[in-house]
A and B are shown apart, each in its own frame.
Chain A
Amino acid sequence: MDTQTLLVYLAKASYFLAAVLFILGIKRMSSPVTARKGIVQAGIGMVVATLATFAITGGHNLWLIVAGIAIGVVPTWLWGKKVAMTDMPQMVALFNGMGGGSAAAIGAGELLKFTQAGAAVPPLATLALAVIGALIGSISMTGSIIAWAKLDGRMDKRFTFAGQQFVNFAVFAAAVLVGAAIVFWKLDANLVVVFFLLALAFGVLMTLPIGGADMPVVISLYNALTGLAVAFEGYVMQIEALIIAGTVVGAAGTFLTQLMAKAMNRPISNVLFSNFGGGGGGEEIAGSQKPIEASDAASLLYLADKVIIVPGYGMAVAQAQHKIWELSQALIKAGKDVKFAIHPVAGRMPGHMNVLLAEAGVPYDLIADMEDINPEFKTCDVAIVIGANDVVNPAAKTDKSSPIYGMPILDVVDARQVIVIKRGKGTGFAGIENALFYQDNTRMLYADGKEAASRLIAELKAIDGGGH
């Protein structure tokens, strides 16, 4: 066996090891106890696979490869280290877009090679998968960039025009037709260029009309798409690690997307093809919102035995998670039972609230999922809603004309007393009124989340001090 054959064997063995580490890593990441080990394990797999690749590239363009890796790694590593926890969703979108772009670039390079004069005609499956992978990767790249820009506040939330769906469909159909022409008719460089332009444009067009509330599902979908693109280009390049890792992520990502869409009671087709958040709809609500001062709210908390805190996107915007945890610690110290109730789609991504609370130091066993906590609202003295709106709106259960009818909600309505911390009287993402805010046992504490929590902590101290 000569050296080169040996090196290829070594690389193939490393890819096998990497595939095993990726699957075990993802498995471990789906349990809170082992999650931290999981990412480290997957990381080791990545390093092993990358180093092993140098064994089969044979030194050709070596310094370009090293430079490319350095240019890719250093800025993203530093940026990822210092970005605020509240900005994590858009970072995931951005890094996902880069992966899609990389897969599309592999497809572009291979297609270009096939079109050169004198090149061997590739097998049909190879050519077809190169085209499909490039299509999906391109859509995922530009789509993710738009999702990033929207979540990062760099772009107006929604962008719609008359006949938009028709235009989108036409662009997509054109991309598919040109792709099919490349596969079945003519391997032509000009066609390849047109194909990529159409695919990249479709990613942008598809994401423009989607509102912020649906972004989690969209990012998850693009994550799954990038996985698939990687798997297909992996087949073209004949690298097993790409096929396995890409397919596993494609399948896991698709499943995760379904879980999220289900939690929002919105079929994926609705997220992608209907415009949500137009407002209006729903019944008129009688009564008025009743305000409360921080001192009175603190008294209610002082008298309560069981308190459930319901955070939403407003808490993330106000960066109030640390103050809220401080408030909870004060309540726990006073002997009260405190829990956090998390709606599956609270915030901009499923689990977004958990990440923020974890950042503030809240142990995960104080944090409860919707199914577990819902029966407990009946026995809860005070529920504090901070920056959440649509996910606690009882109209989802009672009002058939409401746009959010059928979405599972947190049953905050059942609590004996509800305190809603909110900046003003505005509506949530869905743009609809919330009957919870008008209930007899609901009091509105109009303030920025962070400021409200600070005032509650101070008032609680004052009550405690005065009692002794």
Chain B
Amino acid sequence: MIDGFLALYIFMLAAFTGKEVIARVPVILHTPLMSGSNFVHGIVLVGAMVALAHAESPLAIAIGFIGVVLGAGNAAGGYVVTERMLEMFKSSKDAKKD
């Protein structure tokens, strides 16, 4: 069980981590990075799966099902779009190799 101050510490440390890991991002990667972080919060799928697994009433099952569909869409769409953008980032050296 994650509770009280322990949760607060986790939030705080993760927030600093988030800011620090992208602190030196060049402008050319802003859009792919936004897209990539958009993919990462697709992890919400896992939460929706657990919610659906615990759902009993028809309404709860319907809500959980919607959550799973939307979460899966976030993850899958976010990955494809980011991967397509980053696929194109090549330096002149790479381009010659191909």
B66-A101 in contact (CB<8A) = yes
B84-A32 in contact (CB<8A) = no
Please indicate the chain B residues that have their CB under 8 angstroms from the CB of A230 in the complex.
Answer: 41, 43-44, 47
Q: Which of B15, B50, B86, B88 contacts A39 (CB 8 A)?
A: B86
B28-A354 in contact (CB<8A) = yes
Known: A227-B41, A248-B21. Contact between A68 and B77, CB under 8 A? Answer: no
Chain B interface helix/strand/loop/mixed? helix
CA distance A359 to B85 in the complex (A): 8
CA distance A110 to B50 in the complex (A): 11
B37-A227 in contact (CB<8A) = yes
A26-B21 in contact (CB<8A) = yes
Within 8 A of A (CB), among B72-93: 72-92
Within 8 A of B (CB), among A20-49: 22-23, 25-27, 29-32, 35-36, 38-40, 42-43, 46, 49
In the complex, what's the smallest C-beta–C-beta distance from A108 to chain B, in angstroms?
Answer: 5
Query: Which of A71-79, A299-307, A409-417 forms contacts with chain B?
Result: A71-79
Query: Which of A57-65, A271-279, A445-453 forms contacts with chain B?
Result: A57-65
Interface size on B, residues (CB 8 A): 83
Interface residue A142 (Cβ < 8 Å from any Cβ of B): no
B40-A22 in contact (CB<8A) = yes
Please indicate the chain B residues that have their CB under 8 angstroms from the CB of A64 in the complex.
Answer: 52, 61, 64-65, 68
B54-A29 in contact (CB<8A) = no
Interface residue A393 (Cβ < 8 Å from any Cβ of B): no
For this complex, 22 residue pairs linking A to B, each with C-beta atoms less than 8 Å apart, are A30-B21, A30-B25, A43-B79, A72-B68, A72-B73, A76-B80, A80-B76, A83-B81, A98-B70, A98-B74, A105-B63, A106-B47, A106-B51, A219-B34, A233-B44, A240-B10, A242-B43, A253-B34, A344-B27, A363-B94, A363-B95, A364-B89
- Given A29-B86, A30-B24, 4 new contacts (CB under 8 A): A109-B67, A226-B41, A240-B2, A252-B18
Return the 6 tightest CB-CB contacts between A and B, nearest first: A72-B72, A251-B18, A68-B68, A105-B67, A80-B80, A351-B31
